[in-house]
Amino acid sequence: MMIQNHASVEISDVTAFALSVAREAADLVMRILPEGMTSKDVRHKGPRDLVTRADHEAERLITARIRTRFPDHGILAEEGTAASGDVRWIIDPIDGTTNFAHGVPMFAVSIAHEERGTLRCGVVVVPPLREFFVAERGRGAFLIAGSEPPKRLATSGVAELSQALIATGLPGEPVRSAHVATIPAFMRDAQEVRIMGTAAAHLAYVAAGRLDAFWEPGLNAWDVAAGILLVEEAGGRVSTFTGQPMTPPGGDILATNGPLHTTLLERISRRT
Ligand code: IPD
- Residue whose CB lies within 8 A of the most ligand 1 atoms, among 59, 177, 198, 224, for a mutation test: 198
% of the chain at pLDDT higher than 90: 90
The model's pLDDT over 77-115, given as tens digits with 9 standing for 90+, comes to 999 999 998 999 999 999 999 999 999 999 999 999 999
Q: Is 223 in the pocket of ligand 1 (CB under 6 A)?
A: yes
pLDDT band at 10 (very low <50, low <70, confident <90, very high): confident
The pLDDT score that the predictor gives to residue 3 is 58
- The CATH number given to whatever domain includes residue 219 is 3.40.190.80
Q: Is 198 in the pocket of ligand 1 (CB under 6 A)?
A: yes
Q: Nearest 5°: CA angle at 129, between 95 and 211?
A: 70
The verdict on 81 and 22 lying in the same domain is yes
Name which residue sits closest to atom 12 of ligand 1, judged by CA: 171
- The CATH number given to whatever domain includes residue 86 is 3.30.540.10
The verdict on 127 and 20 lying in the same domain is yes
6-15, 41-50, 150-159, 167-176: least confident range: 6-15
Looking at the 3D structure of the chain, how many domains does it have?
Answer: 2
pLDDT band at 6 (very low <50, low <70, confident <90, very high): very low
Q: Is 59 in the pocket of ligand 1 (CB under 6 A)?
A: no
Question: Which stretches of the chain are assigned E, i.e. beta strand?
Answer: 43-46, 49-51, 74-77, 82-83, 87-95, 108-115, 118-126, 131-136, 140-145, 151-152, 165-168, 192-194, 213-219, 237-239, 251-256
The verdict on 17 and 42 lying in the same domain is yes
Give the DSSP letter of residue 151: E
The pLDDT score that the predictor gives to residue 224 is 98
- Residue whose CB lies within 8 A of the most ligand 1 atoms, among 223, 224, 228, for a mutation test: 223
Q: Is 171 in the pocket of ligand 1 (CB under 6 A)?
A: yes
Report the side by side order of strands in the sheet with 118-126: 82-83, 74-77, 87-95, 108-115, 118-126, 131-136, 140-145, 151-152
pLDDT band at 8 (very low <50, low <70, confident <90, very high): low
Determine the structural domain holding residue 32 and report its residue range.
Answer: 2-152
Pick from 128, 152, 176: which residue ends a domain?
152
**Would you say residue 17 has pLDDT above 90?**
yes
The verdict on 90 and 35 lying in the same domain is yes
The verdict on 170 and 138 lying in the same domain is no
- The mean pLDDT value of the chain amounts to 95
Pick from 152, 177, 195: which residue ends a domain?
152
Pick from 131, 152, 173: which residue ends a domain?
152
pLDDT band at 5 (very low <50, low <70, confident <90, very high): very low
Q: Give residue 5 CA to ligand 1 midpoint distance, Å.
A: 33
Q: What is the mean pLDDT of residues 46-70?
A: 95
The model's pLDDT over 240-270, given as tens digits with 9 standing for 90+, comes to 999 999 999 999 999 999 999 999 999 998 8
- Residue whose CB lies within 8 A of the most ligand 1 atoms, among 51, 219, 222, 228, for a mutation test: 219
Q: Is 175 in the pocket of ligand 1 (CB under 6 A)?
A: no
The verdict on 67 and 172 lying in the same domain is no
Q: Give residue 10 CA to ligand 1 midpoint distance, Å.
A: 31
% of the chain at pLDDT higher than 70: 96
